[in-house]
Chains A and B, each alone.
Chain A
């Protein structure tokens, strides 16, 4: 599905980590691991096209990602450190916006999606009245809304309680089994059946952040 050839992110023209060659097929869960500052977030942002100084190739279904931007973005779901949830809007308004911007016409009603992330009855409550974890869950509810094959999740378990983590892991696993691919970073020990860990190694001498 997604392939990286001799890929590394650049910061001030210096590579952040040793060049990676990596193919992610459908049905795979890939965890990007590495110490703080190793470039995990930068790697994910570069994959999505939010950060553009990198070396090497990113191929989406055998084509350079810059040439198939529309297809790539229609099939990508990115969840970053900031979840993209607007505090002054309700959960319903946030999800409707996200759905519309992404170009999906989702068939699931918002209540059912929110029930999946444990937010029953929160559809019409402004997000600034929610706790950090609930706020984060509104962002995670997107995983249930859209049917994007590629998920790029940056620290999806932040601020989520134990039951929430279990459900999220189940969802990630189900997504992979249904033929999707998941790339994620986390410092939480993953308990899904099959996943691959890609370690980012620092280059010697490139020791600045």
Chain B
């Protein structure tokens, strides 16, 4: 009992220092932090110029477009998720920690979601206005993005972990992650489309949440395994 309590408190401490460190590192690299958001904003600004500024066209495209752009913005931010830890040796130290690696990497994923998924979601209402998103779509869009970007961060980090040892991992990362992102995109954009058309969205949100839970349970182990393989050379 006593031993167990000591171990669990040192695990909590390890998770806390890892999480805090991720956030501090993210704040010190403001450029990388802003990168996905600027990408998101840029695409939305260019779309009306390139496609059509017509309200009818844009409002029909808006739900799917915003989701696709959010997905690509997340993908853009994934490449560096483990890269600097891999290069400066922190990853080795994490693997050699007595604490389970799956838990430690979960803090990295949680921090990633907090610094990309949440800001993307918060930016959505503004972009919705620029793309004439129908009023009924705003709340469903934000709910589906909050849940969906969680899955995107978790699933994407599997790809990032697999490709961290490769010199040019970016392309392979996209190829690995893309098929796994498809269901999230379908149900995420589907929820918003249903809401705009006046249908209930409970089913889509339930499936999105289920995908989040499954990836929450499985992704940390997959990432931990992939990182050990990446370091093992």
Contact = CB atoms under 8 A, between A and B. Distances in A.
B96 A100 contact: no
Given A50-B231, A88-B29, A101 B95 contact: no
Nearest to B84: A86
Given A100-B17, A100-B18, A102-B98, A87 B231 contact: no
A60 interface: no
A74 B99 CA distance: 9
Contacts, number: 86
A82 B92 contact: yes
Given A80-B89, A84-B92, A103 B10 contact: yes
Contacts of A99: 17
Interface residue range, chain B: 20 to 34
A104 B97 CA distance: 10
A52 interface: yes
B21 A86 contact: yes
Given A87-B88, A93-B24, A73 B93 contact: no
Nearest to A71: B98
Nearest to B10: A103
A108 interface: no
Contact of B232 (A51, A73, A101, A105): A51
Contact of A97 (B11, B18, B28, B29): B18
A30 interface: no
B92 A78 contact: yes
A100 B94 CA distance: 11
B69 interface: no
Nearest to A73: B98
A8 to B, nearest CB: 17
A81 interface: yes
Contact of B21 (A49, A80, A89): A89
A96 interface: yes
B14 interface: yes
B84 to A, nearest CB: 7
Nearest to B99: A103
Given A101-B18, A105-B13, 15 more contacts: A48-B96, A49-B96, A50-B92, A82-B88, A82-B92, A84-B93, A85-B89, A86-B85, A88-B25, A93-B21, A98-B93, A101-B104, A103-B10, A103-B11, A103-B13
Interface of A: 48-52, 69-70, 73-74, 76, 78, 80-89, 93, 96-103, 105, 126
Interface of B: 10-11, 13-14, 16-18, 21, 24-25, 28-29, 84-85, 87-90, 92-99, 104, 231-233
